[in-house]
Chains A and B, each alone.
Chain A
Amino acid sequence: MTRTLRIVTGIVLFVFVAMHLLNMSVGLVSLEALDQARPYFMLPWRNPVGFIVLAGSMLIHAALGLVAIYWRNTLQMTRYDLIQTVSALLVIPLLASHVLGVTLAANMMSFEPTYQRTLTLFWVQSPADGLRQVLVVGVVWIHACIGLFTWMRLNTWWPKVALVAYPLAVIIPVSALLGFVEAGNQVIEMSANATAYSTPVSSEVAAEQAAIFELYNTVKWSVISTYLIIVAAVLIARKIRLRAANTGMLTLSYLTGDTIRTEGGVSLLEAAELHDLPHASMCKGRGRCGTCRVRIMSSSDELPRPSQIEQQTLERFESPDNVRLACQLAPTAGKIELERLLPPDAGLDALVPPSKKRVPDLGSAIEPAT
């Protein structure tokens, strides 16, 4: 349920971001084209239903992320997880001002947030906001791509999609950023040529604008600070939860001869990756792919029962009882002797239960550690 919800909301957000970025890449043509294209790209999101879906997805996705952080046993994590978590935490503070600005401007000032206006803000009036905007594009896109790719990789249609998906994942943000620069250069030129570009406003209007700006600032900072407080609360709650479940030292002895001593509470997969022991894991520890299966030869302490997710995946592979998923099994203490069942470079065919047919291998999911 949670997984499905996370993926669905993630895909909604991804589609929005991708469309927005595609719109931005029209900037490579010209500034006017950018604004002309805007209604078409924003069409699904400007109506109430689209808006609610979008806003709802965002809230749900963020909440799910915070819940996941709460349930993490350790903050030591693999590189991918680290990138995912940090980028997720950064998105809201970085994006708040842009989203609020555009929404407020559209709804309260009857002031259409055209690209021309926004880009003038980003390139001329407040370049720091422009920098932040580029940063947020990178952060959001990386987060989105990691999430989406780890999900897509587990599907049988992936090899066909991958041929298009990999290049697209680069082309979309790159062309958007280049469009941003190109349109920005036009804006800079325009503002330099016409100092009287901004039409003089009456003092009343100016006062109103200042008030709205004030409001905008207040809302923005309150949103950001609320968010930070929530994150802090989640972290503290997690700490309390961990204090309750006291952990000891965990010793893992692999059949290959490697031995790992680590703090209890990490999953076996995290322990292996943190100690540079290559381990197959295509879904990056989401319990979906089953490539991280290990056989437990012996264990000094009682191991936690498999969760529902783990149970399902293990049943799919018709595994015996002593086989577990390394990504889901997080013992708190004790000594475990175990064996990795799949080679670290396991390909897509490792996903298919033995009864079904083979699928060609196209790229492994794990990063080489050098």
Chain B
Amino acid sequence: MSWFVRLSCLFAACLICFGFGSQYVGAQSLPQIKTVEQTADVIGPPSPNDVKELIRLLDDKRIKNWLEKGAQNSEESELTDSSAIGDGLKAQLSAALDRTRQRARLLQGAWQHISDVPAHLAREWGKAIKPGGTVRSMTYVLIFLFIGGGLEWLYKQYTNNRLLRLQLINPGSLSGRVRAALSRALLIFGGLAVFTIGSIGGFLSFDWNPFVEELVLILLLLVLVLRTIATLSMFVLAPRVRELRLAPFENQLAKQFHRTLIITLSIMAISLAVSDIFAELAEEGNQQSEIQAAAFSVSILAGLVCLTVALLAIWRIAGLLMIVSDPSDEDGHAASNQRVFNWRLYLSVLATLTFVLWLFAATDVMWTVLILGLLPAVLSLVRGWVNYFFDESENYLLGRNQGHQLVAEQELESEVTEAIEAIEVGEETDTIPELDEHRPFDTVRLVTVRFLRFVLVIISVLTVLAAWATDIFSLAESPTFYGKVISIVVELIVAVLIADLIWTWAKTSIDRRLADYKPPEGPQAPGPEARMATLLPLLRVILLVTLVVMVGLSVLSSAGVNIAPLIAGAGVLGVAIGFGAQSLVKDIVSGIFFLIDDAFRVGEYIELGNLRGVVESMSVRSLRVRHHRGAVHTIPFGELTSLTNYSRDWVIMKMEFRVPFETDIKVVKKLVKRIGAEMLEDPLYKDGFLQPLKSQGVRRMEEFNMVVGVKFMAKPGEQWVIRRDAYQKIVNAFEASGIRLAERNVKVEVISDRELTEDEKQAAIGAAQDSIEQQAGPPHPLADEP
């Protein structure tokens, strides 16, 4: 991983070099355009009277009408122009060629007069500045810098302590690091801002002669740019304090890196500032071709210096990175070096190409090449950097957890030495628990990378467009072919990137939840996550389709295709399907809500209306319930109105015993209590019980007996076995202690004062037979129980 980040830092350095350099290079290519403007300036500003007259004329209605008409005409002519795309392209191409040819001529001229350059420049310099002016402007610069520096010092006196505290605390967590970095940036750049305000403010408070003003301003800006670079580099690399560093370097490397960066950029900035000063000078010297050529050669020289320094910096930084590559793993070392080598080559070629293109005034192409060439480098830099940042934070989190664990173990060990019994416990905890495989920042990391990529791509596209056309926004508005293409391309890219961002975020979070879900092992009933696991993939597909459709539609609409009929068609189709699939939709939606309510889970015993059974499986649309006698019911979710779940939390089971009136209730209670205690002890049932078996005393009186109630509370599903054995045990106990269960009997009372003979008894029983059978009645249906 480290080679990656190191590489990325290399690119950052180069990016800054190029970004900064090309800014000046861009400025260098301006003089030709400026000379054209110059001729317009020579005419001079209008007199106040002219201006008044113009205003009066502009207020005139006739003039207004005429102007508006003219504007309309020109618009129409523009429209006709835009139809001839081929001609425009050709014209543009030939213009570019002309420019290049002119540039080549200029180059040639510069080369021929190279020996005269210093003399020309010295002469022009003498003309532009009064004797002593040069030194004087340096005095001014020094004074303004002193003012800025003084103010910054004052600022520092009040902020130093805070800055120091910031670097003394070691913020380990991600948010802590970000906060520390932000407040540090605020403090550091606050100082820079104070410096800027002081020096530029001092400069602004005096009147200047134009060229001296330009000169002083350029010198001041140069110092400001250098300081900004130094501060930025200081901020990121923090060459002296390891804890603050935002890049993965050791002290030594960070220092070298910092120094290389500062030296390179200083040389580049100084050479470009010098060339800028001479360009200004050439502008002052009215259009003399020698001065132009001289200034041009200075700018070429500056460009060459920049190129050389940039190449040197690339090679130097690459060299630094190669040296520090981790030698512990040879393969990774070689591969990393190879990568550094490739990037070095790539960036060198890019720098050279940029320079050559600039030399031949192909500014548009130069910008395109530069930005598109740098994009991959910057992207991998950003990716590496984000990864590094999150890695660090994760390591910190893991490290902290391990730290806690270590402390806990140490405490345990000390206890172990005190108490011998604790040894076993100590050994148990001694096995290191599995570390969470899951990295805490996975989703954030991916989304951050995508988001930064999105921003970078947008920025680079806009910059390229800005390089090609002065005002892309108006061009994109205009009805020309290019305008159309540009707006379509921009919208396409934006839509795709946004969709990609959303998709990445959704996909990673869904995948994470799916990965988190572990199917239950053994007989354990799965929780609500089980259904989540079936629904999430569906959600993912729906999201993907939606995103693709939306991107497609937005692209079509930006391409000018009228998407209203499409949407309307889709709408009609949707309505039709909607009607047809009404109940299906109802099933799915109510299924989702049953899921959210957590009304049932697979394996639970439920009752739906008059159906009962164990939930066997669920699909998106329906529920499958198996009756305890084997029948399988399939019920769509939409049909479910109320649902009874018998498998939640606890069940109370009641039992009744009919005993004769003369039974001693106290004995019964005692027996039940004893059996309850016995069953609680029994390993077979003890887990099932929530409350033990207990007698409720006499529940009611009946014709020939009384009813004794016994109840217990158990976990759902366990009650049947407990009840079975409880019945048996209680009956046995009753028998053993002589309590008879009441039996149905018919007493036949014969009113007579003498003993009956056997026959008479039989006759009496026979007479009562009817009433016996009548009372017994037909047997009741058994309760439905598994």
Contact = CB atoms under 8 A, between A and B. Distances in A.
Nearest to B148: A174
B160 interface: yes
Interface string A109-135: 000000000000001101110110011
Contacts of A177: 143, 146-147
Given A124-B132, A177-B143, A363 B168 contact: no
A26 to B, nearest CB: 17
A130 B141 CA distance: 12
Given A166-B154, A170-B150, A170-B151, A368 B164 contact: yes
Contacts of B241: 276, 369-370
A180 interface: yes
Contacts of A167: 154
A39 interface: no
A181 interface: yes
A364 B164 contact: yes
Contacts of B139: 127, 130-131, 134
B135 A276 contact: no
Nearest to A367: B160
B150 A364 contact: no
A173 B144 CA distance: 12
A334 interface: no
B164 A344 contact: yes
Given A134-B142, A370-B244, A345 B150 contact: no
Contact of B157 (A138, A363, A369): A363
A313 interface: no
B164 A185 contact: no
Nearest to B149: A138
Contact of B146 (A174, A182, A185, A278): A174
Interface stretch (B232-240, B276-284, B520-528): B232-240
A137 B150 CA distance: 12
Contacts of B262: none
Interface string B166-195: 111000000000000000100010000000
Contacts of B166: 368
Interface string B444-476: 000000000000000000000000000000000
Nearest to B139: A131
Contacts of A347: 161
Given A368-B164, A370-B241, A170 B135 contact: no
B648 interface: no
Contacts of A169: 150, 153-154
Contacts of A364: 160-161, 164
Contacts, number: 100
B165 interface: yes
Nearest to B153: A170
A268 to B, nearest CB: 18
A345 B160 CA distance: 10
A260 to B, nearest CB: 12
Which of B143, B188, B239 has most chain A Cβ within 10 Å?
B143
Interface string A182-205: 100100000000000000000000
A167 B161 CA distance: 17
Given A134-B146, A138-B142, A127 B136 contact: yes
B138 A131 contact: yes
Nearest to B207: A185
A96 B158 CA distance: 36
B452 to A, nearest CB: 25
Contact of B240 (A174, A178, A276, A366): A276
A364 B161 CA distance: 6
A130 B238 contact: no
B508 interface: no
A353 interface: no
A343 interface: yes
A345 to B, nearest CB: 5
Contacts of B184: 370
A134 B143 contact: yes
A345 B143 CA distance: 33
Nearest to A138: B146
A123 B206 contact: no
B235 A174 contact: no
A366 B157 CA distance: 10
Interface of A: 123-124, 126-128, 130-131, 134-135, 137-138, 166-167, 169-170, 173-174, 177-178, 180-182, 185, 276, 278, 343-345, 347, 363-364, 366-370
9 contacts: A131-B136, A178-B202, A178-B205, A278-B164, A363-B158, A364-B160, A368-B166, A369-B240, A370-B188
Given A276-B251, A370-B184, 14 more contacts: A127-B133, A130-B139, A131-B135, A138-B142, A167-B154, A169-B154, A170-B150, A173-B150, A182-B206, A278-B164, A363-B157, A368-B160, A369-B240, A370-B163
